[in-house]
Amino acid sequence: MQQRSRRHILRTISALGGIGLGALIYRWLPRATSSATEPPPLPPAPVIVPRKAWGASPPNHTAINEYGIASSPLETNWYVYRDDLKQVYNTVAIHHSAHLLASDETMKSIQDLHMRRNGWADIGYHYGIDRDGVIYEGRNIQARGASVAGYNTGTIGVVVMGNFETDQPLEAQLTALQQMVNWLAAFYELSHLAGHGEFNSETVCPGRNLSAYLDQVALAAGLQRGISGHVPPR
């Protein structure tokens, strides 16, 4: 039994029969144990640089390709999930930014591209990882991403900066990606990990040199590979 529910029972009994009775019965309630039926503890939460710190622009709800607040969970338009995100999310999609590691790319430059060139309301990805392995907050996790056409509902988008058709992912990036995926998988109770190109076959994203690591990233996080975890909008 969770400590929280023991406390809740204590409060309920105390309210009904007074503190003394509550304390007496509380002593007889089973204590929290680390039995095999309880979920394993969460992996350490990664340090995530918030939007404010990288100077994110606010979402633009008049953007031409993703505008307004969608009232139904279609695969288009900005949509804020109302359900528990553990029920909503099933897959983490891995991307590369397709700009060479040698470029001076930032979360802000990606956001500008997505908002100005793509006409989206905000940066499409939920998280970004730069060349130093620093993890950034992207689109609000409560909002559906714009990263895998036709499959955005229930998919968390993570971009690793670089062009991994030519670049090799850096050690710091792989370490950060694994930590991020481990945490997302456990926190949102995900089932699958997929590279962008597995959803949309016309793209090579996240590049062959990063794709080569995805099996081991998924395995270490306890996730299956592929897109079969996707659930279409209801």
Q: Is 95 in the site for Zn ion (CB under 5 A)?
A: yes
* Two structure tokens written together for 104: 């001076």
Nearer to Zn ion, 110 or 121 (CB): 110
The distance of closest approach from Cβ of residue 125 to Zn ion in the complex, given in angstroms and rounded to an integer, is 8
From the list 21-29, 92-100, 173-181, 226-234, the region that binds Zn ion by CB under 5 A is 92-100
For 78, residues 6+ apart whose C-beta sits below 8 A from its C-beta are: 59, 61, 66, 67, 68, 69, 70, 121, 122, 143, 144
SS3 194: strand
Q: Taking a C-beta distance cutoff of 8 angstroms, is the pair 137, 51 a contact? A: yes
Q: Specify the DSSP element, H or E, that contains 95.
A: strand 91-96
Q: Is 92 in the site for Zn ion (CB under 5 A)?
A: no
Number of residues that bind Zn ion (CB under 5 A): 3
From the list 15-23, 61-69, 88-96, 178-186, the region that binds Zn ion by CB under 5 A is 88-96
Site for Zn ion in 200-229 (CB under 5 A): 205
Q: Is 192 in the site for Zn ion (CB under 5 A)?
A: no
Q: Is 126 in the site for Zn ion (CB under 5 A)?
A: no
Q: Is 139 in the site for Zn ion (CB under 5 A)?
A: no
Binding residue (CB under 5 A) for Zn ion from 114, 139, 196, 230:
196
The distance of closest approach from Cβ of residue 82 to Zn ion in the complex, given in angstroms and rounded to an integer, is 27
Mind giving me the DSSP string for 169-188? PPHHHHHHHHHHHHHHHHHT
Q: Are strands 48-49 and 155-160 parallel, antiparallel or unpaired?
A: unpaired
In the complex, the residues that contact Zn ion under the rule CB under 5 A are: 95, 196, 205
